[in-house]
Chains A and B, each alone.
Chain A
Amino acid sequence: GAVVSQHPSWVICKSGTSVKIECRSLDFQATTMFWYRQFPKQSLMLMATSNEGSKATYEQGVEKDKFLINHASLTLSTLTVTSAHPEDSSFYICSASREGSTDTQYFGPGTRLTVL
Chain B
Amino acid sequence: QKEVEQDPGPLSVPEGAIVSLNCTYSNSAFQYFMWYRQYSRKGPELLMYTYSSGNKEDGRFTAQVDKSSKYISLFIRDSQPSDSATYLCAMMKGNKLVFGAGTILRVKS
Q: What is the interface of chain A, defined by CB distance below 8 A to chain B?
A: 4, 6, 32, 34, 41-46, 49, 91, 93, 95, 97, 102-110, 112
Q: State the B residues within 8 Å of A (CB).
A: 6, 8, 31-32, 36, 41-46, 49, 51, 88, 92, 95-102
Q: Which of B41, B97, B102 contacts A105 (CB 8 A)?
A: B97
Task: Decide: A32 and B44 in contact? CB cutoff 8 A.
Answer: no
The residues of A that contact B44 with a CB separation of less than 8 Å are: 44, 93, 107
Is A46 within 8 A of B97, CB to CB? yes
Q: How many A-B residue pairs have CB under 8 A?
A: 50
A41–B96 CA distance with the chains assembled, in angstroms: 21
**How far in angstroms is the closest Cβ of chain A from B12?**
16
Q: Output the least CB separation between A43 and chain B (Å).
A: 4
Task: Give every chain B residue within 8 A of A102 (Cβ-Cβ).
Answer: 95
> Given the complex of chains A and B, what is the CA–CA distance between A91 and B98 in angstroms?
17
Partner of A43, one of B31, B46, B99: B99
Which residues of the other chain, A, contact B98 by a CB distance below 8 angstroms?
Answer: 46
Known: A43-B102, A93-B44. A104 touches B95 (CB 8 A): no
Q: Whole-angstrom distance between the alpha carbons of A109 and B41 in the complex? A: 8
What are 6 A-B pairs with beta-carbon distances under 8 A?
A44-B44, A93-B44, A95-B43, A102-B95, A103-B31, A106-B46
Q: Name the residue of chain A whose CB is nearest to the CB of B44.
A: A107
Which residues of chain B are near A107, meaning CB under 8 Å?
Answer: 36, 43-46
**Which residues of chain B come closer than 8 Å to A104, judged between CB atoms?**
46, 49
**B32 touching A103 by the CB < 8 A rule?**
yes
What's the least CB distance linking B78 to chain A, in Å?
Answer: 26
Q: How far is the CA of A46 from the CA of B94 in the complex (A)?
A: 14
Nearest first, the 5 closest Cβ-Cβ pairs linking A and B are A107-B43, A102-B95, A43-B99, A109-B43, A43-B101
**B8 contact set on A, CB distance < 8 A:** 41
CA A109 to CA B13, docked complex, whole Å: 27
Q: Are A103 and B101 in contact (CB under 8 A)?
A: no
B49 / chain A contacts, CB cutoff of 8 Å: 104
